[in-house]
Structures are given as structure tokens and as C-alpha cells.
Amino acid sequence: MHRRRLLATIGALPLAAGAQADFYPQVRPRPLVFPRDHGAHPDYRVEWWYLTAALESGAGPLGIQITFFRVRTPIDPANPSRFAAQQLLIAHAAIADPARGSLLKDERVARAGFGLAHAAEHDTDVQLHRWRLWRTADGAYHCEAPARGFDLRFSAAPTQPLLLQGEEGFSRKGPRPEQASHYYTQPQLRLEARIERDGRALAARGVGWLDHEWSTAVLDDDAAGWDWIGMNLDHGAALTAFEIRRRDGGTVYAYASLREAGAVRARVFAPEQVRFTPLEHWRSPRTQARWPVAQRIAVGARVFETRPLFADQELDSRASTGAVYWEGASTLLAGGRRAGVGYLEMTGYLEPIRL
């Protein structure tokens, strides 16, 4: 449930005259079909391809994150103008380096078309100017992102089958039937990267995680935001968990799945079996948001803890998606010992997130 910095700017746009409440289709349970469902679903309101990785390099540990968003605006699709922004493409990229102590980050936004931005429907191939994420026939993902202050390029090869989240890829996000997404994960990616920064090239390799999700309505009106983790465990398992928080501090909905190494299906946990508890906070000197950057996460009878690579992994994307969020490379602990690596994502700590 994530990347979920969901576009307050789009929510403020009026629907075209005569548009109906069903302008965007509702997510309903259906079998996912591949490779088609690796591609874009332009009728739905929002979609993202989100890839993170924990890397080791000659300079020490690094985290990388890149997300491509596709947004269908409320502009009437019958509008014949080539300049009508019916689809927007947005991209964020960040490098987490503890030696630096803050993120190297950049973002892009453009309307689809004009040979500058597109999201293919037949398979994963998303491009925004010179940034691109695409999937080849062998299942590997490739990325090129020449950004301000750094250049990120990598290949990520699958080592496990796709993980369908929720009910065969139908992922509930709240009590109402429309509060859902189609959602699958490709965990335990074998990733090799080349990063240029400060005039130097750096080779790195490690383990990655990809989420692809599309939806129309996700959050309850009373939701403030969410906490989410995607963690590759060292012995080959994959742990996903999220909690959608109410504005009064309660929980709207929670979810977790754990797929053991060698398994095809994941064990899915009921909302009452999942609980996030803050362990350590950090206050941003820029936004003054107070983020619980280390958390205890109970999943059934098991208890995990996250520890950030460093505290300042806040991203202010109000210029593109309209949200401030914390997207942090983290270590996962179990019983006080390292169990895996991945990312913790949090929204709604500065102000309630709006879709």
C-alpha cells in the first residue's frame, strides 16, 4: 500500500461537465494476467511501480528508491486537444547514504504524450523524459535515471515467483468494498547498480523489492496516513505489512503477508493480527514533522523491529504529488538480531494525506 503519496493536487481538479460518479472504474476481484498486468491500467485513477533496494558498495551500505506514478486526471477523455493532460506521469528517485546523512533526491512530472512521457500497457515500460523503468522478456527490470546530483542505473533480476498480495492480487485497504487495489510484489530481486555522484562512479549490488499497484479509491475519509514495510529476509522470505491510521490515532485497516523461502503462496494475516508500535522518533528540521523512524511490528505471534539506515530520510514532494513522506532504507530485526533489509514508508505525520 504504498507510493501512496497520493496526489492531493489531482483530487482538487473538478470533474468534466457531465462526468458520472463512475468516471473511474472500481477495483474488483479478478485473476491477474501476465505479462499484461505488468503494464499500465490507464482507466484507473492512480498507479505506481515502486522499486527499492539495499545495496553494498566499496563505500559502504546504500539504499535506493525509485517510483513511477501514472495518474488519470478528471479531464474528459473526449477532449480532442493534444494538450489535454488526461494522464500524468510523476517519478521520484532517492539514494540513501549514511555517510552523507541525508537523501540525494530528485523528481519529475509531465503529461503523457509528445514522445516525452508514457506508460506502456503490454508490459512494464514507463518513461518520463530521460528516466525509464522497463521489464525484459527474462523478467528482469532495468532502470536509467540521470538526475540532478546523481545518475542511477541498475538491473534487477527475479529469483522468486511473483507474490500476489491480499486475495490473489486484490488488496483491501479499508472496510468498504471500493477501498482496494490490485497489488503484487516481486521480492528478493538480485540487483546490480551503477551510481555516479560527485564526479565518481560507484558499483553496488544487493537485494531489491518491486511493488506494482493500481486503484481508484483507497483511503477511508477518516484516514490520516499509513505505515508500510516491504522487507527481504536474509533467509529468502518476504514480509509485507501496513497499517492505515485514523486521525484520532486508531486503526482504519491493517494487513500483513509473509512468504517463506521456497513457497509460492504467502500466509496472509487478519487486520487484528497486525500492529505497529513506535520505538524511536525523529523531528524534521525542515517540516517539523515527527516521524517514528524505528518501529515494532507484530505479525501474528512474531515480532519484528525496524532500524533506519539513518534518521533523515524525509522526502518533500509537494511540488509533484502534494505530499511529505518518509521513505527509509531500514534493517529488520527479530529477537534483537538482524533478520533482513528493506524499506519503511510513512505518510500523514505532517498533515492527513488526501487523495
Range from 39-48, 118-127, 283-292, 346-355 carrying the lowest mean pLDDT:
346-355
pLDDT at position 13 is 41
Please state, in angstroms and rounded to a whole number, the distance separating the CA atoms of residues 298 and 277: 8
Residue range(s) defining the domain that contains residue 90: 8-14+33-347
- Beta strands at 302-308 and 290-299: parallel, antiparallel or unpaired: antiparallel
Q: Which three cell numbers stand for residue 20?
A: 458520472
Domain assignment of residue 22, yes or no: no
Residue 3 included in any domain? no
Give SS3 for 36: helix
Angle at alpha carbon of residue 97, lines to 92 and 99, rounded to 5° = 150
Q: Evaluate whether residue 105 is within a structural domain.
A: yes
Asked, for residue 311, whether it belongs to a domain, the answer is: yes
What's the structural domain count of the chain? 1
Q: Give a yes or no: residue 58 inside a domain.
A: yes
Q: Which three cell numbers stand for residue 341?
A: 533489509
pLDDT tens string 315-349? 887 665 667 889 999 999 999 999 999 999 999 99
With contact defined as beta carbons under 8 Å apart, do 154 and 143 qualify? Answer: yes
Mean pLDDT of the chain: 90
**CATH number of domain containing 44:** 2.40.370.10
In a domain, 353, yes or no: no
- Supply angle C-alpha 276, 312, 65, rounded to 5: 80
Count CA atoms closer than 13 A to 63's CA, side-chain side.
27
CA 170 from chain centre, in angstroms, equals 17
Q: What is the pLDDT of residues 54-110, one digit of tens each?
A: 999 988 999 999 999 999 988 877 777 777 788 999 999 999 999 999 999 999 999
In a domain, 37, yes or no: yes
Residue 125 lies in a domain: yes
pTM of the model: 0.91
Q: Which amino acid is at 47?
A: E
